[in-house]
Amino acid sequence: MNVPVFQIDQATRIPILSQISLSVQKGEHLALIGPNGAGKSSLLRMLAGLDQPGSGSLSLNGINLSEFSRRDIAREIAYLSQTDEIDPAFIVEDYIALSRLPFRGDANPYEDSLAIRNAAQHCEVVPFLQRRIEHLSGGERQRVMLARCLAQTPQVLLLDEPTNHLDLTARSRLLQLLRQLPLTIIAVLHDLSLVPEFASRALLLNEGKLVRDGSPTEVLSSEALAESFGIEAIQVCLPDGASTFVFRPLCS
Ligand SMILES: Nc1ncnc2c1ncn2[C@@H]1O[C@H](COP(=O)(O)OP(=O)(O)OP(=O)(O)O)[C@@H](O)[C@H]1O
């Protein structure tokens, strides 16, 4: 059997996460959902090695994550946080180039510039590579932050609300891009209608516990979703044969 990318056993992290057990295989695309304060960002931070579990265990590629140096983690995992502060005076290209620091001394300049160029093209930020961050719109800035993650050439992408600030078209394009990436991706998504578009598997957190783990259709149509969010999901068939979900508050 393949060694999972992440293996979490009974991990607990004060103040919120409680006995989380989870196995993530290479190349899986997971949507992490749950109401505000459920512990989604806390779980991502733990997976990124920024917070250690207080009890239980967490391994990356079969090795306890606590045994990795920050640099080694950064070579494997790119993390887009919800609260990344960027110095507004940064030139976009220089900011994206920060992602290559974990490879300093190993990667040659050609590899670095190729990684930066590919990431910039994927995220459609080439036209403003020479602009200052402060002169970008919110959506452009979000794409630049994602480009920094991709230029890190990671095996795993941890994304906290990657569709923040993006308009409808930009969201769709971003999800299309993410879907095509042959990486393991765990993304916090607040817009539940985006979950089936992106994910092969959905994790529902509520009050720090993993209450559902399954296909997007299973999780979105589960009673647990209704209990966690107080909404019901209605699956709607589209004229082209595909289906989508619409959500409405549960009547009390
Ligand atoms: N360092 C901390 N100290 C105390 N409480 C914390 C800390 N970090 C998170 N919390 C609390 O843990 C809970 C979960 O926070 P977290 O940011 O993980 O939730 P979330 O599911 O990502 O929420 P949102 O959807 O609002 O972003 C919240 O109640 C938060 O206030």
DSSP state of 3: P
Residue nearest to atom 12 of ligand 1 (CA): 16
Largest Cα separation within the chain, whole Å, is 62
Give the up-direction half-sphere exposure of residue 235: CA atoms within 13 A in the CB hemisphere: 12
> Taking the domain 6-249, which CATH number applies?
3.40.50.300
pLDDT of 165? 82
Expressed in angstroms and rounded, the spacing between residue 45 Cα and the centre of ligand 1 is: 11
Is the pLDDT reported for residue 252 higher than 70?
no
* Angle in degrees, 0-180, between the axes of helices 138-151 and 109-122, rounded to the nearest 10: 140
For the chain, strand residue ranges (E) read: 6-13, 17-24, 29-33, 55-60, 63-64, 77-80, 156-160, 184-188, 201-206, 209-214, 231-237, 243-249
User: What is the pTM assigned to this prediction?
Assistant: 0.93
Expressed in angstroms and rounded, the spacing between residue 57 Cα and the centre of ligand 1 is: 21
Quick: pLDDT tens for 140-179: 998 999 999 999 999 999 999 998 888 888 888 888 889 9
pLDDT of 96? 96
pLDDT of 156? 98
Q: How many CB atoms lie within 10 A of CB 207?
A: 13
pLDDT of 104? 87
51-59 average pLDDT score:
93
Q: Are 80 and 147 in contact (CB under 8 A)?
A: no
Of ligand 1's listed atoms, the one at least distance from the Cα of 38 is: 21
User: For the chain, what's the residue count?
Assistant: 252
Query: Checking DSSP bridges between strand 29-33 and strand 201-206, what pairing results, if any?
Result: parallel
- Residue 15 or 92, more confident: 92
42-53 average pLDDT score:
95
pLDDT of 160? 95
Instruction: Break the chain down into helix, strand, coil percent, rounded to 5.
Output: 40, 30, 35
Quick: pLDDT tens for 181-231: 999 999 999 989 889 889 999 999 999 999 999 999 999 988 888 889 988
As a whole number of angstroms, the distance between CA 109 and CA 38 comes to: 42
Quick: pLDDT tens for 66-107: 999 999 999 999 999 987 778 889 999 999 999 999 998 877
Of ligand 1's listed atoms, the one at least distance from the Cα of 39 is: 18
As a whole number of angstroms, the distance between CA 102 and CA 172 comes to: 31
Residue from 41, 50, 163 whose mutation best tests the ligand 1 pocket (most atoms within 8 A of CB):
41
